[in-house]
Structure 1
Amino acid sequence: MGVMTVTASLPSWTRRSSDLSKHSAEVFAEAEDHPVTVTRRDGEALVLMSQREADGRARLLDFAAQLITVTLDDRGSLAERMSKAFPWMLALSPADRESCAQDLVDAARASFSTDQPHLAIAELTSWKETAAAVAAGLGSADVEWLDDDAAETVERP
């Protein structure tokens, strides 16, 4: 069983390098769930993590760089500045751009403070897909609601 240490108030799992040879399947299974620090007597500690985790961290850093660029610009509202960094936001209505900008900043702050890249990446992906759907005309169709009294019951397949 790995030793859990606390660094910057976030959990970290540590294994000895000998565990890789003696219990490799167990260590690899742990690394699929969360990064594992592998300590070595003869060198610097290494971190073993899934490709998904590494990609999420890289995407979060890229997103952070874009947000920093947005914050350095002092011209226009947050939504206007964000639309420069993320041109797909221009497909959204002005009100949705405002919501999107604030949601992205809030999700980024949550990701940074909890070391959970998926929070910001999921929010970014969701808004980007919404913008793509709006651009494709999927958000402009009139919805026809059925009255409960007039609705026909459909049998289950």
Structure 2
Amino acid sequence: MPAAPLHQKSFHSSDLSRHSGMVFAAAEDHPVQVTRRDGDALVLMSQREADARESLLQLAAQLIAAATSESGTLAESMAERLTWMLALSTEDQERCAADLLRAARASFATNQAHLAIAELTAWRETAIANAAGLGTGRVDWIDTGIVVERP
């Protein structure tokens, strides 16, 4: 069998033994289906992909719980579940809630878990930086350029 394109999404089970490198290379890029004559098809994917999907499902559970809560705003309800959000200002909590919801919708619509996970990670890191006192200090801008000699 010639080398399959990396974007191939389905393989026969015999390809695992005969051309495992090709199947594994495709599975590192995206989940692939392995069809079997005597059983249900299986899906092979990287641990990174499986972890991203698990994280997306956990986020979805939190978003659904927050969205269906009858107490407070969406941001307040989300901050009860994602407690790191409490390190954000009230305004940033509102922006975070909206951004996470938008990114989760995009992830589900496109089957690209990384969109929501990246947004979640960015906001969580911002909250951690805020909690550590980073970014709250005064910034002094230099109005004039400084000429530096060439080394």
Amino acid at match of 1:27: V
| 1:72 aligned partner | 68
Letter of the 2:73 counterpart: S
CA distance in 1, matches of 2:125, 2:150: 31
| Alpha-carbon separation, structure 1, partners of 2:149 and 2:57 | 50
How many residues matched? 147
CA RMSD of aligned residues (A): 1.6
| Deviation of 1:155 (Å) | 5.5
Matched, 1:122 2:114: no
Gaps of 5+ in 1: 5-11
Deviations 1:56-115 (A, max 9, x none): 111111111111110120221111111111111111111111110100000000111111
1:92 aligns with 88
Identity over aligned pairs, percent: 62
Aligned: 1:132 with 2:149: no
1:29 matched to which residue of 2?
25
Unaligned ranges ≥5, structure 2: none
Structure 2 residue 149 is matched with structure 1 residue 152: no
- TM-score (normalised: structure 1): 0.88
Letter paired with 1:129 = E
Separation in structure 2 between the aligned mates of residue 108 and residue 156 of structure 1, nearest angstrom: 49
Offset at 1:151? Answer: 2.0
Which residue type is aligned with residue 15 of structure 2? Answer: D
C-alpha separation between the residues in 2 aligned to 1:52 and 1:43? 26
Answer yes or no: is 1:105 the counterpart of 2:132: no
Residue 57 of structure 2 corresponds to which residue in structure 1?
61
1:42 matched to 2:38? The reply is yes
Q: Would the alpha carbon gap of residues 144 and 27 (structure 1) be closer, same or farther in structure 2, given more than 3 Å must change?
A: same
- Which shows bigger deviation, 136-145 or 71-80? 71-80
Greater strand percent: which structure? 1
Q: Provide closer, same or farther for how the CA distance between residues 39 and 127 of structure 1 changes in structure 2, counting only shifts above 3 A.
A: same
Could you tell me the TM-score, scaled by structure 2's length?
A: 0.91
| SS of match in other structure, 1:80 | helix
Residue in 1 that maps onto 2:11: 15
More off after superposition, 121-130 vs 65-74 = 65-74
SS at match of 1:144: coil
